[in-house]
């Protein structure tokens, strides 16, 4: 099986079975899996919404999810066969609240975009105050996840 490390602000999808690994703090990763074709993909975004300035980069949630969907469709996936899983969005600083809580806003962006697209979220592990290390198996849609304690 291929292995791929997913850096912040990037996405990955491939027809070949791949173990996609990433580490999340306030960032969010959305995983898509097509139940018929048995292929999957994952993104890792840092900020919730692109404001229209500069390039529409996948470091923004609304762009990252749309770009990953486009990649999935280019591999023959259909929206009705897609399942989604969401991870991350931790509040790593004690004073993070409201507009300053990027993690919370990242989670809401994923939920809103997926609802607008009509894609069902079948699993999630979001929020809290710990980071996460995760491995997404693109051929099964399975996710292995471990909470990461903050180091002092």
Q: What is the mean pLDDT of the chain?
A: 94
CB 27 within 8 A of CB 18: no
Q: Give the CA count within 13 Å in the CB-facing half-sphere of 54.
A: 8
27 is catalytic: yes
- The sheet carrying 10-14 orders its strands as 10-14, 39-44, 28-34, 82-88, 120-126
What CATH number does residue 42 fall under? 3.30.1330.200
**How far apart (Å, rounded) are the C-alpha atoms in residues 127 and 131?**
9
User: Is the per-residue pLDDT at 93 higher than 80?
Assistant: no
Q: What is the pLDDT of residues 123-147, one digit of tens each?
A: 999 999 999 999 999 999 999 999 9
- Domain housing 56: 2-148
Q: Which of 6, 20, 24, 27 is catalytic?
A: 27
Q: What is the pLDDT of residues 53-67, one digit of tens each?
A: 888 999 999 999 999
User: Helices (DSSP H) in 4-149: which residue ranges?
Assistant: 61-74, 102-117
When divided into structural domains, the chain yields a total of 1
């Amino acid at each position: 099986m291929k292995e791929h490390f997913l850096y912040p602000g990037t996405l990955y999808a491939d027809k070949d079975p791949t173990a996609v690994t990433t580490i999340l703090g306030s960032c969010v990763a959305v995983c898509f899996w097509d139940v018929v074709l048995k292929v999957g993909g994952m993104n890792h975004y840092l900020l919730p919404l692109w404001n229209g300035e500069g390039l529409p980069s996948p470091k923004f949630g609304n762009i990252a999810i749309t770009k990953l969907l486009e990649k999935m469709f280019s591999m023959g996936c259909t929206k009705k066969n897609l399942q989604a899983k969401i991870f991350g969005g931790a509040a790593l600083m004690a004073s993070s609240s409201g507009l300053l809580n990027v993690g919370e806003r990242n989670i809401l962006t994923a939920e809103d975009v997926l609802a607008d697209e009509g894609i069902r979220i079948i699993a999630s592990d979001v929020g809290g105050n710990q980071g996460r290390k995760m491995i997404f198996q693109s051929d099964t849609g399975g996710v292995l996840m471990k909470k990461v304690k903050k180091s002092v």
